[in-house]
Amino acid sequence: MGVRITQRTADKYERLLRYLKQYLAQRGKAEDIPVERMNYEFLDGFNLFLQTAHRCRHNGAGAVMDCLRNFVLYCLRNEWITKNPFRYYKLKEDEVQAKEHLTAHELELLTRKELDHRLARIRDVFVFCCLTGLAFADADHLRREHLSQDDEGRWWIHKPREKTSVMSRIPLLPASLEILRRGLKVAWWTNIRFEKNFTGDLAQLMSAAGCIAVSGGLEVASDRLLALMDKGVTIEQATLAMRNFFYAGIMVHPYLMYGFPTQTLQESVDALEVVRQLFRAELIGSAFWHRYAMTVHSPSGIDPEKYGVHRKNKGPNGFANNEVPFTEIRTYNINTVGEALNEALTNYMCGGGIDRPAHKWFKGKEIPPTTLENTLITDQLIKPDASRIYNDPARLVWIGVPLIRTGEGVTARNNTGEKQFRFGEAEAEFLMELTLRCADLSRKVTLADAKQLYGKYSPEPFVVFYHSKQWDQLRKYGLLQI
């Protein structure tokens, strides 16, 4: 990787392999066939499959077919096959309407548009590409070492193009410099467990620190099975955490599992229904199903009988061999279930099939419909966030710009504008001191500390001020409870 082909190219051929496996499975053929058995009928069917099962447009399907043609040509050059199935199968692109260039005025309007944190980051990258002429792949791989300053103090990008390796020498405009000043911060994606500690304010803090996405195990998406595997989370708990990440502009990618011991066909259908509702509520942006594998150090691997299965091999596993072979009694075809779950998930991630009943994705007779309420996920969205509940030990932090003291109270500012808060002199002075203390992240300031400080400025109960509309609005400008 990175020597003869790029990661982007490798991803294209990995996608081709995945689609070919799905196409062969749909045809009811073997999982693999010899290359020489590909013919015109096979190619035409695969093209149709791409445009129907995956809803590819004509040119999108053509791009996948072009990868297959390149592979066939590679086989011909190596004399692995003697006939070219693409000899009479022609790939033609539909003409697309030429894109109009943005005017300077339009680009300026876009730059000044007030957007939330997630969309603002996307806008900044797009504008940066417009101003520099870099493709997204080039901007994505831009690093500090690609920036240099000449003798006259002008900044330049010196970077080889990802696609051609031709060295680019691009002067940086003032607007591009400003985007880099904002954007060259740490951007990170982390693995988590969907715990109740991920409140709305903690998610906002993570987003401000550069978190763009999280991955976590929702596993079998069944409260019974989550308890059985001692996962420590529930569907409700996971949904609330996902809601908080979504509001903070952080993408959520759950890991999903099927085939866990004692999991029934009904629970498989219900698990897909949970995932369907999560996509419908836009709480998750992507996901991945994997088939359960028993490992030697897991609770199920240590005590398989507790989970209703029997270990085949009683002896110790070899070095670095963690998987435990086991037998179980299952009344349904686990392979068919896996195909249904993955097909549904592929459609959900492309924005399709959201309203299709979960059990309709499964092949076979007498597939039970889901037993879950259609509002299982949306019912969780209206529940209060833990960061809105008073708790003496909870920590307060201020991540916004410093407040400005005015004659009528204080002025708070963020990247979307500023707001004047009307406070009495005592409350305004209290907020100025409190936010100054909370802005020092090396010290811990709790709600109990804030209550004690408030008592020096006002005889009124601090809890009344805490539950005021103004306190809640200050959260938007950087006052977080974690």
CA distance 86 to 71: 11
Sheet holding 417-422, edge to edge: 404-406, 409-414, 417-422
Residue type, 10: A
**Per-residue pLDDT at 184:** 45
**Per-residue pLDDT at 131:** 74
What percent of the chain has pLDDT above 90? 36
Which residues sit opposite 171 in a β-bridge? 156
Residue type, 372: L
**Per-residue pLDDT at 441:** 76
Token output for 327: 């037998």
Mean pLDDT (the chain, rounded): 84
**Per-residue pLDDT at 317:** 60
Say yes or no to pLDDT of 355 above 90.
yes
Helix axes 40-52, 7-27, angle to 10 degrees: 100
Say yes or no to pLDDT of 144 above 80.
no
Say what the pTM is: 0.60
Q: At a CB cut-off of 8 Å and minimum separation 6, what does 319 contact? A: none
**Per-residue pLDDT at 288:** 93
**Per-residue pLDDT at 212:** 86
216 within 8 A of 238, measured Cβ to Cβ? yes
**Per-residue pLDDT at 4:** 60
**Per-residue pLDDT at 156:** 74
pLDDT digits (tens, 9 = 90+) for 324-354: 788 888 889 999 999 999 999 999 998 889 9
**Per-residue pLDDT at 471:** 92
- From residue 203, give the alpha-carbon distance in Å to each of 30, 210, 238, 438: 47, 11, 13, 18
pLDDT digits (tens, 9 = 90+) for 48-86: 888 888 888 888 888 888 888 888 888 888 888 888 888
**Per-residue pLDDT at 97:** 61
pLDDT digits (tens, 9 = 90+) for 145-188: 777 766 666 677 777 766 656 677 776 655 544 544 555 455 67
Helix axes 104-112, 117-132, angle to 10 degrees: 150
Backbone angles phi, psi at 415, to 5 degrees: -75, -5
202 within 8 A of 177, measured Cβ to Cβ? no
State the sign of the Cα–Cα–Cα–Cα dihedral 284, 286, 289, 295: negative
Question: 474 burial class (0-12, 13-18, 19+ CB within 10 angstroms)?
Answer: buried
Mean pLDDT of 266-277: 96
What percent of the chain has pLDDT above 70? 88
Say yes or no to pLDDT of 92 above 60.
yes
Higher-confidence residue of 120 and 30: namely 120
